């Protein structure tokens, strides 16, 4: 298939970027979107031009690095799919494809489509963990966990930190990411001792990173490649309120 | 490390303020609608009701001050949060699709601002009588009890017989209705309701309220404009100036 690409090119965080048009011919519908970009980069290198920088690692939908906005939707047209798992057969011959980086002040562009998502790491560092003394792992069956709680924790734990929620949100809010991390630990007994401090600290860090706030439009859950529910955000709000009403300080 | 000050500054807390104050105003709108619908029961009922409200004295003022502060806090937090949101995405997307969000949810700030202007206009119109002074002042009604009270009924009829005023209320009510359709479920989420069953219920309640407010509030200007509600006949100049007076 033949494609017209419109790709965001930006030298680094301090320069202004702009869109550049590229034409690609004979793309196989069986290629992944990233393989299509690989072909583009080969073509660019062949003419001595700078290849398009984009993040990728696992190419199997679990690392969350292949972030890019494709035709106005994070990770492209297919629901619950990362860019690396998106196939070119989802497009038609002759299509125009607009490719942009995540746009958020908390995710500065490193180069072209690659953005710096360290803000997410700092939110995790603020409280997205449990403190345990090392030693032998205890027997799993000594910690009974109700099935619905285990399921809810597992669903939230599916978050790969890709940032699609921030990208899709009209406010560039990181509430779905933060809420998923909080819910994943908050549904489990191991997460209880630090539950209240965790929510206070992570929300504080999220705010300091300059993300927007949640207006419950739910575009985040629709964009999430792992289908994480925005109901987790409501749970975060409840945990936050409870922590504050109990006078917990972080 | 963590102080009350930070609590007040957090976006999650600001959002809670917004939800609580917003829901207070939704409660007021429900009560206000029930009162307004007395327009359909004729001048005696609504004029007596309005007189009753005005006679509450200090209680009326407590309610008024509470509502004004709620609105003030609501507007303050909405401005604070939406400035933050704008700063969070300094460069807009060339192409951006809305996935699941409703139009109403994406335009809350615009519907909110329109409502704010309307609230000011509405107070100037029917509370302070400055938009149509001739129908507000010197417009009295004698209740069956013999009490002489303000003729709210004729004031409202005079207002909605004017096509421009009727239209402005029409638009305002559409904005209120759009705002409400998102706000009930949004506020429920903000206040921590996270059971999917209850969340589905809150969004249904929100949409139902939006429809009830739209139909309820609109029914009055429509009834007046189409002549279903006619002015109460008396020999005041205010009545004489109206269409269908004493017909
Ligand atoms: C009739 C008057 C109003 C009522 C009943 C009302 C009600 C509400 C409610 C219940 C919410 C949900 C709070 C939450 O999501 O937690 C809300 C949100 C909001 N309101 Fe209002 N409001 C009114 C007027 C205004 C005004 C005058 C403004 C601004 C000038 C405004 C701006 C907003 C904004 C920006 C939001 C947040 C958007 C969102 O959560 O999606 N509102 N409103
Ligand atoms: S490259 Fe790892 S999720 Fe796409």
Ligand 1 centroid, distance to B26 Cα (angstroms): 10
The reply to whether A89 touches chain B by the CB within 8 Å rule is no
Q: How far apart are CA A188 and CA A152, in angstroms?
A: 9
What is the per-residue pLDDT for B4? Answer: 54
Count H helices and E strands in chain B, helices first.
11, 2
Q: What pLDDT is stored for residue B1 in this prediction? A: 45
- CA-based nearest distance B182→chain A, Å: 8
Residues 6+ apart with CB under 8 A from A39: A24, A27, A31
pLDDT in tens, A214-239: 999 999 999 999 999 999 999 999 99
CATH code for the structural domain at B12-240: 1.20.1300.10
How would residue B238 be classed by pLDDT, with cut points 50, 70 and 90?
Answer: confident
Which CATH code fits A3-111? 3.10.20.30
pLDDT digits (tens, 9 = 90+) for B24-81: 999 999 999 999 999 999 899 999 999 999 899 899 999 999 999 999 999 999 999 9
Cα B121 to Cα B118: distance, rounded to the nearest angstrom: 5
Rounded to whole angstroms, the Cα distance separating A180 from A153 reads: 9
Distance CA A99, CA A74 (A): 10
What's the token pair of residue A40? 């583009």
Domain A117-245 architecture: Orthogonal Bundle (1.10)
A201 near A250, Cβ under 8 Å?
A: yes
Residue A64 CB–ligand 2 contact under 6 Å: yes
CA distances from B163 to B131, B186, B223 (A): 14, 35, 13
Neighbours of B152 (CB within 10 A): 24
How does strand A109-111 pair with strand A114-115?
antiparallel
- The reported pLDDT for the residue numbered B82 is 94
- What's the longest Cα–Cα distance across chain A? 64
Neighbours of A44 (CB within 10 A): 14
The 10s digit of each residue's pLDDT in B126-175 is 888 777 777 777 778 888 888 888 889 989 998 999 899 999 999 999 99
Residue among B12, B93, B96 minimizing CB distance to A240: B12
Nearby residues of B114 by Cβ (< 8 Å), 6 or more positions away = B171, B172, B175
Among B84, B191, B194, the residue with its CB nearest the CB of A213 is B84
- For residue B118, which ligand has an atom nearest its CA? 1
Pocket of ligand 1 (CB under 6 A): A 215-216; B 15, 18-19, 22-23, 25-26, 29, 74-75, 78, 82, 105, 108-109, 112-113, 115-116, 176, 179, 182-183, 186-187, 190
Q: Does A34 touch chain B (CB under 8 A)?
A: no
Segments making up each domain of chain A, as ranges:
3-111, 117-245
Distance (Å) from CA A142 to ligand 2 centroid: 36
Percent of chain B surpassing pLDDT 90: 70
Q: Do B10 and A201 touch (CB under 8 A)?
A: no
Nearest atom (ligand 2) to Cα of A82: 4
Phi, psi for residue B116 in degrees, rounded to 5: -60, -45
Structure tokens at A142: 């000594």
Q: What ipTM was predicted for this assembly?
A: 0.90
* A8 Cα to the center of ligand 2, angstroms: 20
Measured CA to CA, the distance from residue B130 to residue B124 in angstroms comes to 5
pTM for this one? 0.91
Query: How would residue B9 be classed by pLDDT, with cut points 50, 70 and 90?
Result: confident
Write out residues in chain A with pLDDT < 50, as ranges: none
What is the C-alpha to C-alpha distance for residues A9 and A11, in angstroms, rounded to an integer?
Answer: 7
Closest approach atom of ligand 2 to CA A64 = 3
β-sheet bridge partners, residue B149 = B141
């Amino acid at each position: 298939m033949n494609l017209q690409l419109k790709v965001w090119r930006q030298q680094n965080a301090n320069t202004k970027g702009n869109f550049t048009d590229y034409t690609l011919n004979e793309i196989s519908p069986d290629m992944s979107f990233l393989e299509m970009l690989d072909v583009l980069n080969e073509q660019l290198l062949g003419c001595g031009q700078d290849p398009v920088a984009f993040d990728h690692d696992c190419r199997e939908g679990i690392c969350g690095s292949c972030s890019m906005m494709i035709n106005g939707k994070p990770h492209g047209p297919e629901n619950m799919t990362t860019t690396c798992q998106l196939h070119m057969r989802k497009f038609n011959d002759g299509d125009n494809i607009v490719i942009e980086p995540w746009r958020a002040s908390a995710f500065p562009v490193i180069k072209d489509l690659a953005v710096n998502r360290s803000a997410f790491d700092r939110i995790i560092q603020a409280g997205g963990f449990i403190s345990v003394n090392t030693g032998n792992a205890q027997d799993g069956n000594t910690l009974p966990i109700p099935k619905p709680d285990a399921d809810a924790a597992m669903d939230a734990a599916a978050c790969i930190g890709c940032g699609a929620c921030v990208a899709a949100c009209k406010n560039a809010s990181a509430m779905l990411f933060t809420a998923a991390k909080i819910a994943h630990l908050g549904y489990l007994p191991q997460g209880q001792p630090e539950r209240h401090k965790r929510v206070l600290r992570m929300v504080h860090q999220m705010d300091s990173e300059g993300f927007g706030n949640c207006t419950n439009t739910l575009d985040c859950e629709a964009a999430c490649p792992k289908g994480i529910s925005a109901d987790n955000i409501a749970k975060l709000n409840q945990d936050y309120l409870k922590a504050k009403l109990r006078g917990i300080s972080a | 490390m963590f102080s009350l000050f930070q609590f007040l500054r957090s976006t999650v807390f600001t959002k809670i303020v917004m939800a609580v104050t917003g829901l207070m105003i939704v409660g007021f709108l429900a009560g206000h609608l029930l009162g307004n619908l007395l327009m359909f029961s004729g001048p005696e009922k609504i004029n007596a009701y309005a007189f009753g409200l005005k006679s509450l004295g200090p209680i009326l003022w407590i309610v008024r001050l509470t509502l004004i502060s709620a609105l003030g806090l609501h507007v303050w937090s909405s401005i604070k949060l939406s400035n933050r949101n704008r700063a969070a995405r300094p460069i807009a997307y060339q192409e951006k699709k809305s996935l699941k969000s409703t139009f109403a949810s994406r335009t809350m700030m615009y519907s909110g601002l329109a409502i704010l202007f309307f609230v000011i206009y509405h107070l100037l119109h029917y509370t302070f009588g400055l938009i149509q002074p001739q129908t507000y002042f010197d417009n009295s009604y004698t209740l069956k009890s013999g009490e002489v009270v303000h003729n709210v009924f004729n004031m409202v009829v005079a207002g909605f017989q004017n096509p421009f005023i009727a239209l402005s209320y029409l638009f305002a009510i559409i904005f209120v209705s759009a705002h409400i359709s998102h706000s009930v479920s949004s506020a429920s989420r903000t206040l921590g309701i996270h059971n999917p069953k209850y969340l589905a219920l809150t969004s249904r309640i929100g949409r139902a309220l939006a429809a009830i407010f739209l139909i309820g509030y609109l029914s009055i200007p429509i009834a007046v404009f189409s002549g279903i509600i006619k002015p109460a006949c008396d020999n005041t100049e205010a009545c004489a100036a109206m269409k269908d007076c004493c017909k």
